[in-house]
């Protein structure tokens, strides 16, 4: 980059950084990351993306910006790993490319490659670990027993293939401990101690496990189903920054809602809390939108249930088109936001405006 181009890029970056400082939100940080990518400042993008995701882990804008940044950063690796699969395929080639796609959050591709790796090279543990990691990630988000069971089965398969993989055994022991499968966890820690008898971490974990409560059953499926039941009762879900703030202060939320009036065709917005309780609405306020809120709660419940049962994981958003307009449902950090509009607005514009409202207005 020449001197003048460098100066111009730095000036643009400084301006973008000032925008973030003026109103720090996932949306403004994502815009800054995109600017860094555009100007080829990938290290800077990486730093900000990491910081942003730590600060706003539930943000969609930041997840998407992170994906774009990783894609830009890994473009060369991607090309060489793809070439490797074409020219000299092997279990590790599939593993490396699957891991890269996982890092890039292209999960469909990661699963496809790891599955192919498992099919063609069933005696290599790496591809089982990728599949298990992805399933476990989903289990952590959706807290469904079936995901937990599949993840642990895949991890166990990897352990069968290599019983001295320290990281794998430790991770599996931690997973078992987290879901309350004490004896399963102890078994894995003992496997570690067989080849690393003085390992301090393993010894500490074993001591903690021995003090833990014995579960009612030792059957993993039953333990996971019990875990799912407790999760459904809301025992494990952490409240994020956004829902924490507005559940405690619904009045503050109600004051934000009129900003949506700027959207063409806007008719109504109703916001429900993590358990479907009515928090705020506009126009008319919460009290005058009770019956609409009850109806929208049913729509959210159906969409959430549909997504989980169809194995496409947590419901994020849905656009319902009917004769008199659009009903757009969005879940953001457990807040359930429904925006009703006429058909005057273009669907893409509706999506963009609601996205900006959620990712910017609600955070500042």
Partner 1 sequence: MQAILKELNRVAGVKGSMVVTKDGVVVAECLGPDLRKEVVAAVSSHMIQVSGRSLEDLGRGSLDRVALTSAHGRMVFVNLDVGYLVVITKMEMKLGQVLIEVESAARKIKQLHSRI
In this structure, are residues 318 and 304 in contact, taking their beta carbons and an 8 Å threshold?
no
Q: Report the alpha-carbon distance of residue 260 to residue 268 in Å, rounded.
A: 9
Q: Which of 12, 19, 64, 106 binds partner 1 (CB under 8 A)?
A: 106
115 binds partner 1 (CB under 8 A): no
What sign has the CA pseudo-torsion 349, 350, 351, 357?
A: positive
Q: Which stretch of DSSP H or E encloses residue 325? A: strand 325-332
Q: How far is CA 325 from CA 51, 125, 319, 348, in A?
A: 39, 52, 10, 14
Tokens 């809301």 found at: 234
Six-digit token pair at 323?
Answer: 């004769």
Question: Minimum CB separation from partner 1 for residue 340, in Å?
Answer: 7
CA angle 192–193–195, rounded 5-degree value: 75
Q: How far apart, in whole angstroms, are the C-alpha atoms of residue 169 and residue 156?
A: 9
Minimal distance, residue 329 CB to partner 1, in Å: 9
Task: Considering only the stretches 68-76, 81-89, 101-109, 194-202, report the one whose residues sit in contact with partner 1 under the rule CB under 8 A.
Answer: 101-109
**CB-count burial class (<10 Å; 0-12, 13-18, 19+) for 363:** buried
How many residues of this chain interact with partner 1, rule: CB under 8 A? 37
Report the residue number, 7 or 320, with the smaller CB distance to partner 1: 320
Chain centroid to Cα 226, Å, comes to 23
For partner 1, the closer of residues 146 and 162 by Cβ is: 146
User: Does 108 interact with partner 1 (rule: CB under 8 A)?
Assistant: yes
Question: Of 59 and 165, which has the nearer Cβ to partner 1?
Answer: 59
**Cβ proximity to partner 1, 10 vs 324, nearer residue:** 324
Sheet holding 335-341, edge to edge: 278-282, 266-272, 335-341, 325-332
Please state the closest distance from residue 299 (CB atom) to partner 1, in A: 5
Q: Which residues pair with 281 in a beta bridge?
A: 270
CB of 326 to partner 1, least distance (A): 9
* 43 class by beta-carbon count within 10 Å (0-12 exposed, 13-18 middle, 19+ buried): exposed
What angle, rounded to 10 degrees, do the helices at 182-195 and 200-211 form? Answer: 160
CB of 265 to partner 1, least distance (A): 13
The least distance separating partner 1 from the CB of residue 283, rounded to whole angstroms, comes to 15
Residue 248 in the binding site for partner 1 (CB under 8 A): no
Site for partner 1 in 283-342 (CB under 8 A): 291-292, 295-296, 298-299, 301-303, 305-307, 309-325, 327, 340
Minimum distance from CB of 320 to partner 1 (Å)? 5
d(CA 136, CA 157) in angstroms, rounded, equals: 14
280: helix, coil or strand?
A: strand
27-86: contacts with partner 1 (CB under 8 A): none
Nearer to partner 1, 202 or 278 (CB): 278
d(CA 17, CA 115): 42
Which is closer to partner 1, CB of 125 or CB of 267? 267
**Minimum distance between the CB of residue 84 and partner 1, rounded to whole angstroms?**
22
Minimum gap (Å) between residue 255 Cβ and partner 1? 24
Cα radius of gyration (the chain):
24
Residue 84 vs 292, nearer CB to partner 1: 292
User: Can you tell me the distance from the alpha carbon of 247 to that of 258, in angstroms, rounded to the nearest whole number?
Assistant: 18
Q: Which is nearer to partner 1, 99 or 330 (CB)?
A: 330
x-marked contacts with partner 1 along 136-165 as a string, rule CB under 8 A: --x--x------------------------
Interacting residue ranges for partner 1, rule: CB under 8 A: 106-109, 138, 141, 291-292, 295-296, 298-299, 301-303, 305-307, 309-325, 327, 340
């Amino acid at each position: 980059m020449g001197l003048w181009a460098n100066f111009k890029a730095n000036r643009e970056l400084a301006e973008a950084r000032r925008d973030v400082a003026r109103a720090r939100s996932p949306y403004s940080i994502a815009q800054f990351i995109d600017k860094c990518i555009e100007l080829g400042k990938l290290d800077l993008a990486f730093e900000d993306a990491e910081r942003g995701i730590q600060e706003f882990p539930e943000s969609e804008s930041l997840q998407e910006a992170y994906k774009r940044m990783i894609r830009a950063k890994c473009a060369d690796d991607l090309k060489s790993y793809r070439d490797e699969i074409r020219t000299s395929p092997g279990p590790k080639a599939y593993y490396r490319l699957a891991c890269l796609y996982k890092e890039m959050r292209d999960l469909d591709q990661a699963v496809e490659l790891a599955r192919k790796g498992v099919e063609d090279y069933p005696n290599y543990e790496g591809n089982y670990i990728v599949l298990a990691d992805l399933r476990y990630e989903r289990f952590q988000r959706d807290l469904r027993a079936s995901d937990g069971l599949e993840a642990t089965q895949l991890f166990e398969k990897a352990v069968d293939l290599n019983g001295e993989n320290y990281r794998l055994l430790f991770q599996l022991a931690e997973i078992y401990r987290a879901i309350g499968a004490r004896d399963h966890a102890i078994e894995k820690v003992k496997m570690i101690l067989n080849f690393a008898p003085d390992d301090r971490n393993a010894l500490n974990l074993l001591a903690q496990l021995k003090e833990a409560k014995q579960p009612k059953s030792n059957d993993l499926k039953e333990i996971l189903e019990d875990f799912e039941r407790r999760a459904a009762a809301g025992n494990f879900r952490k409240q994020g920054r956004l829902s924490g703030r507005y559940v405690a202060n619904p009045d503050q939320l109600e004051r934000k809602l009129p900003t949506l009036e700027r959207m063409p065709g806007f008719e109504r917005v109703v916001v429900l809390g993590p358990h479907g309780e009515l928090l705020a609405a506009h126009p008319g306020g919460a009290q005058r939108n009770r019956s609409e809120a009850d109806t929208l709660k049913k729509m959210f419940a159906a969409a959430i249930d549909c997504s989980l049962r169809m194995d496409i994981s947590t419901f994020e958003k849905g656009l319902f088109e009917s004769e008199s307009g659009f009903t757009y449902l969005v879940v953001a950090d457990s807040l359930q936001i429904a925006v009703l509009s006429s058909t005057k607005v273009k669907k893409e514009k509706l999506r963009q405006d609601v996205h900006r409202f959620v990712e910017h207005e609600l955070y500042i």
